[in-house]
Amino acid sequence: MSVLGKCSREMSAIHLIKTYCLPTLLYGCEVWTLSDSSSHRISVAWNNCFRRVFGCCWRESVKPLQHFCNTLPVSYIIDLRKLIFWRSFRRSENPVLRTLAYLNHNHFVGTASKYGFDNYMVNVKFAVWRNFCDSLL
């Protein structure tokens, strides 16, 4: 916000946050095992970014703002990145990576089942986004 000033454009601020802050916040999240408290702290940090940019009260939900900005909540982003990561292992030509994917198949299926699919061939990004949109209704 100090870069943009007080009379900033919200979408520009969101773009900068998604481009510079989010990768730092989620560095290596594909292999994280998060406790509930750690997951909550990361979600609070991400949601507070939206509250700060749009001038919302801390009690207000930012899910409609995230939807409007074409952005997922951080828990969805972490799951999406994990699913894409493990799917790339599964599709790899390297037998070691494919073996790792096979050994972690239950982890992939557990995360994927939250979003309504159970195989590697589905469009992961679309399935996660659809699940988020359904949660808003």
DSSP tag of 19: I
Domain coordinates of the chain in residue numbers? 10-136
Who has greater pLDDT, 118 or 103? 103
Who has greater pLDDT, 31 or 1? 31
pLDDT in tens, 35-76: 999 999 999 999 999 998 888 888 889 999 999 999 999 999
| Matching residue, tokens 């801390």 | 58
Predicted confidence band at 95 (pLDDT cuts at 50, 70, 90)? very high
Closest CA to 46 of 75, 70, 9: 75
Residue 72: how many other CB atoms lie within 10 Å: 20
Q: How far apart are CA 19 and CA 44, in angstroms?
A: 18
Q: What's the average model confidence in pLDDT over 92-106? A: 89
Question: What pTM did the predictor assign?
Answer: 0.87
Length of the chain equals 137
Decide if pLDDT at 83 tops 80.
Answer: yes
Predicted confidence band at 120 (pLDDT cuts at 50, 70, 90)? low
Q: What is the pLDDT of residue 69?
A: 93
Half-sphere exposure of 135 (CA within 13 A, CB side): 18
Q: What is the pLDDT of residue 9?
A: 82
